Chains A and B, each alone.
Chain A
Amino acid sequence: MTDEQRLYSIWVYLQAEPLFWLTLTIGAYLVGDFCYRRSNLFPLFNPVALSIIIVSGVLLIFDIQYERYFEGAKFIHFLLGPATVSLAIPIYQKWALIKSNAMPIISAVLLGSVFAILITYLLALAFSLEREIVLSLLPRSVTAPIAMGISELIGGIPSLTAIITIITGIIGAAFGTFTLDLLRVKKMSARGFGIGLASHGIGTARAMSRDKTAGVFAAVAMGLSGVVTALIVPLIIFLLKI
C-alpha cells in the first residue's frame, strides 16, 4: 500500500467511528467560543452558529451524509435531555426570587407568547407565504418537541417547524443580548426571560452561560411559554380564521 492509500483507509475507518465526529463537534465549538471571545462578544460570531458552520462545511467539503455524522454526534445530542432535567437545580436555588416575581412572570408569559405568535403571523402575511408555511411558523418560539406537536395538530409540516424552531433559537442566542442592550433592559431576570420565551433552549443555553439569574428566568419562561403556546395557537387560529 502506498502512503496515500494508507491515509485513505484510515479516513474510511475514522468516518465510520463516533470518535472523529465527537472530536470535530467539540473542536468546532471550542474554535467558535474562542472567536466569540476574541471578537468582544460580537453577535454574528456566536459559538453555536460558528460551530454549526464549521461542522457543516466539513460535511459538505468531504461529501459526508448528515446521518453518518449524527451516528457519532448523537452522544452529544443525547446529553440535551439530562441537561434539561438539571435546569431544575438552578431554578430550585433561585426559587425565592421566582416566587417574589410570580405576577410579572405570569403576565409576561401570556403577553409575550401572544405577541410572538401574532407578530410571526403578521410578518408571514406580509410576505404572502403559503398557508402550510405560515402554520409551520406559528409555534416557532417554543422548544422543538412542543413546536412540532403543535404544528402537526394545526396542519403545518412538523419537520419544517423543527428547522424553523432551531433557526429561531440560534437567532435569539446570537442577537438577543444586542437587542436588549439597544432597548436598555437592565434587569438580568427580565433579559433572560425575554430570550427564553422567544428562543427556547438555545436562547436559554446562551443566557445560562452568561448569567445564572438570566439563565434561570430564561428556563422558567421557556417552560411556561411552551405550555401557554400549545394552548393558545389553536385558539388564535380559530379567532383569526387562519
Chain B
Amino acid sequence: MLESIFLIFLFQLVGEMIQKFFELTIPGPVIGLVLLLVALLLFGKYSTSVKTRLEKGLTTTAEYLLGHLPLLFVPIGVGVVMHISFLENRLLAVLFVIFSATVLSIGFTAFVMEKLQNLGNQNDG
C-alpha cells in the first residue's frame, strides 16, 4: 500500500515538474497519468515477483481512490456556489447555455461513438 502511494505521488511530482518546466497547459497530474500508463505498458511484458506485488498494490490503492472520486470535487464545488454572484444578472442565461450544451454534447458524442463502434463491430468488453 505504502509503496503504491509513493509511486503515485512520485509520478504526479514528475508530471508537475514537467508541466512547470515546459509551461504546458496540460495539468501535472494528467502528465503523471500518461507517464504511469507508459511505465505500466512498458513493464507489462515482464513478470517478476516485484512487479506483481507493485501492480497488486497499485490496483488496491487506485480502486480505493477512484471509488470515492466524486467526493474529491466537493471542496471546489462549494467554492463555485460561494462565488456564483460573479455572474450577476447573466446567471440564468449562462446556466441554461451550460445545461443545454452539456446534455447535447454528451448525447451527440456517445451516439456517434456507439455508431462508429458498431461500424467496426468492436466489442464492449
Q: B75 touching A74 by the CB < 8 A rule? A: yes
Q: B75 touching A77 by the CB < 8 A rule? A: yes
CA separation between A214 and B42, bound complex, in Å? Answer: 25
Q: Is residue A12 within 8 Å, beta carbon to beta carbon, of the partner chain?
A: no
Q: B103 touching A171 by the CB < 8 A rule? A: yes
Chain B contact surface mostly: helix
Q: A133 touching B122 by the CB < 8 A rule? A: no
Q: What is the number of residues of chain A that contact chain B, defined by CB distance less than 8 Å? A: 114
CA separation between A107 and B107, bound complex, in Å? Answer: 15
Q: Is residue B48 within 8 Å, beta carbon to beta carbon, of the partner chain?
A: no
Most chain-A Cβ atoms within 10 A of its Cβ — which of B5, B80, B106, B108? Answer: B106
Chain A nearest CB, measured from B58 CB (Å): 5
CA separation between A227 and B117, bound complex, in Å? Answer: 22
Q: Is residue A8 within 8 Å, beta carbon to beta carbon, of the partner chain?
A: no
Q: Is residue B72 within 8 Å, beta carbon to beta carbon, of the partner chain?
A: yes
Q: A77 touching B113 by the CB < 8 A rule? A: no
**Contact A25 to B106, CB < 8 A, known contacts A89-B59, A123-B101:** no
Q: Is residue B104 within 8 Å, beta carbon to beta carbon, of the partner chain?
A: yes
Q: Kindly supply a per-residue 1/0 record for chain A positions 50-83, scoring 1 wherever the CB is within 8 Å of any chain B CB and 0 otherwise.
A: 0111011001000000100110011011011111
Chain A nearest CB, measured from B29 CB (Å): 4
Chain A nearest CB, measured from B53 CB (Å): 14
CA separation between A172 and B101, bound complex, in Å? Answer: 10
- On chain A, the residues within 8 Å of B78 by CB distance are 52, 55-56, 59, 66, 69-70, 73
- On chain A, the residues within 8 Å of B125 by CB distance are 94, 97, 188-189, 213
Q: Is residue A145 within 8 Å, beta carbon to beta carbon, of the partner chain?
A: yes
Q: B74 touching A92 by the CB < 8 A rule? A: no
Q: B86 touching A48 by the CB < 8 A rule? A: no
Q: Kindly supply a per-residue 1/0 record for chain A positions 172-198, scoring 1 wherever the CB is within 8 Å of any chain B CB and 0 otherwise.
A: 110110011011011111110111011
Chain B residue at smallest Cβ distance from A56: B81
Chain A residue at smallest Cβ distance from B44: A92
Q: B90 touching A55 by the CB < 8 A rule? A: no
Chain A nearest CB, measured from B51 CB (Å): 12
Chain A nearest CB, measured from B95 CB (Å): 7
Q: B70 touching A160 by the CB < 8 A rule? A: no
Q: Is residue A163 within 8 Å, beta carbon to beta carbon, of the partner chain?
A: yes
Chain A nearest CB, measured from B92 CB (Å): 9
- On chain A, the residues within 8 Å of B106 by CB distance are 172, 175-176, 179-180, 194-195, 197-199, 203
Chain B residue at smallest Cβ distance from A22: B75
10 tightest Cβ-Cβ pairs between the two chains A and B: A194-B110, A112-B109, A149-B25, A205-B69, A104-B116, A84-B29, A73-B75, A198-B105, A88-B36, A190-B114
Instruction: Supply 20 A–B pairs (Cβ within 8 Å), ascending by A.
Output: A47-B70, A69-B75, A82-B65, A85-B15, A86-B8, A86-B61, A115-B105, A119-B105, A129-B93, A143-B30, A159-B86, A168-B102, A171-B103, A180-B107, A182-B107, A185-B107, A194-B110, A194-B113, A198-B105, A208-B66
Apart from A86-B61, A209-B70, 13 more pairs, CB < 8 Å: A52-B77, A56-B81, A77-B75, A80-B29, A81-B12, A82-B8, A83-B65, A107-B112, A166-B79, A175-B106, A187-B124, A193-B113, A194-B106
